[in-house]
Amino acid sequence: MSTIKKFAGQTAIYGLSTIISRSLYFVLTPIYVGTLPTSIYGIFTKLYSWASLINAVLAFGMETTFFRYLNKYEHDKDKVYSNSFFTVALLALLFLTGTLCFVNDIAAWLQKGHGDTYADYTYYVKCFIYILVVDAVCVIPFAKIRADGRPMRYSVVKFLNILFVVGLNLFFLFGIPLMIKHQLAGWEWMQQWYKPKWVGYIFLSNLMASLLTFVLLLPEFFKLKLRFDFAMFKNMLYYSGPILVANISFIINENLDKILLDRRLPAAISDQQLGIYAAGCKIAMFLSIFVQAFRLGAEPFFFSHAKSKNSGETYARIMNYFVIAVSVIFVAIVANVEILKYFIKGDQAHRQLYWSGLDVVPLLLFGYLSLGIYMNLSVWYKLSDQTRYGLYISGVGAILTIALNWIFIPKYSYMASAWASLIAYATMMVLSYVWGQKNYPIPYNLKKNLAYIIASIVTVFLSFHVFNRNIFIGNALLILFALSTFYVERKELLLLFKKK
């Protein structure tokens, strides 16, 4: 139980830091929209929409591989760390060299039809490339911090990165103009080079924040030793390859619905429908943040305890707590959706339009719930070195996402995307459980976990549809659900929170 207590504490730290970081990052969106011309903001959005895909390729699944090989080579962790790092560093170097050769072509393609100069776009692209490379080089040092069980250090570095990004954006977009306007110290020098509302400052802010992160991680870099094992390198690539493809498939699952909404709907309504769907996604992100925080703590924990005598029972117990947590959060978000909808920015007319799509929220939330359980279940193919199953499962999810969106969007619009997301993630969850029990059995309490999931679905249906999103009735149902859960789990939960 003390082991699970430690895991819960680390997950709480990851969760709090993730929430704070996301909240700070959300501050930037209205600033960008209100400050930058629409066409220029579109370039920023277009470049960063590629970031998650490129980051996944550069990381090459090495995070998970690093955790697995630390577990396999407990007496040679330095070699595992070095091999993992130099693999990612090599990919980053190849990416840097290759993209810099085509900077001018990329800049010319982006600049076509827009007002900024060719030189400006060359600067944007170069900054973007450097950001991706620096972030890639930091992947394994961050993984080492997580593997060492130091969530506070991880969270502080991530928090300082976001804080620095926000601070520099505010300084470049608002601080310098005020200093020039009021002729404060250095204003004449700033006036010589400052460009009002220049999107380049956003890229520069992100690059400087990435470099700050690199500096903060120097203690981890200094622990690297020039030890490269080619045989281990080949084995690591064999392990990580399917994970890379699985990660790319996951990115497709997360983003393709929005692309297909734009393509499969008539041009006259596609932007509006996409905006409504995106607003619903923002509310559902509250559960996604918890799932992400859990993943940050769970992956290194699962690998580090793989050789423990009762590891299977520990994983099953963690699954039980996780299902309880996501079920309660699922019910809580739906019960308070009438409050959370005010997080969607805009004037009253736009808000009413966005709110017309709130029906997607329960569907998206259950999709994220299924995704979280799938991430929990995925430990079996990672520990048994059968990562190809991760490729198969995520591949099925990607195919379902593409097929269902392509077929049903023209008739059902964004509701088709919400259902496609739910079906894809739920299918991945079921496949992982079935194949996992066949290849690497873990004694999950299937009946109890299913009972919590079904109870949460019934509660959400009552709250959202039967009682028409009434806040008071919804929260009464939430309290009833939470108290019932606590009563059933009272012995386990009291033992978990009991002080030594």
Q: What would the pLDDT profile of 391-438 be if each residue is shown by its tens digit?
A: 999 999 999 999 999 999 999 999 999 999 999 999 999 999 999 999
Q: Quick one: pLDDT at residue 161?
A: 93
Residue 123 has which token pair?
């600067």
Check if the beta carbon of residue 22 is closer than 8 Å to that of residue 336: no
Q: Distance between alpha carbon 108 and the CA centroid of its chain, in Å?
A: 31
Q: How far is CA 53 from CA 47, 204, 256, 390, in A?
A: 11, 21, 12, 17
The 10s digit of each residue's pLDDT in 288-303 is: 888 888 888 888 888 8
Q: Measured between alpha carbons, how far is 248 from 250 in angstroms, rounded to an integer?
A: 5
Question: Does residue 28 surpass a pLDDT of 80?
Answer: no
Q: Quick one: pLDDT at residue 46?
A: 65
Most confident of 62-76, 259-273, 367-381, 479-493: 367-381
- Residues ≥6 apart with Cβ < 8 Å to 456: 327, 328, 330, 331, 369, 481
Positive or negative: CA dihedral 44, 286, 448, 469: negative
- Residues ≥6 apart with Cβ < 8 Å to 258: 274, 277, 278, 417
Most confident of 42-51, 267-276, 314-323: 314-323
Question: Does residue 43 surpass a pLDDT of 70?
Answer: no
Q: Measured between alpha carbons, how far is 228 from 430 in angstroms, rounded to an integer?
A: 39
Q: Quick one: pLDDT at residue 120?
A: 81
Q: Residue 275's pLDDT band (boundaries 50, 70, 90)? A: confident
Positive or negative: CA dihedral 421, 366, 457, 445: positive
The 10s digit of each residue's pLDDT in 153-201 is: 999 999 999 999 999 988 888 888 888 888 888 888 888 888 887 788 8
The rounded percent of the chain whose pLDDT value lies above 70 is 93
Q: Quick one: pLDDT at residue 47?
A: 72
pTM listed for this prediction: 0.86
Q: What is the mean pLDDT of the chain?
A: 87
Q: Measured between alpha carbons, how far apart are the two ends of the chain, in Å?
A: 11
- Residues ≥6 apart with Cβ < 8 Å to 395: 245, 246, 249
Q: Quick one: pLDDT at residue 24?
A: 74
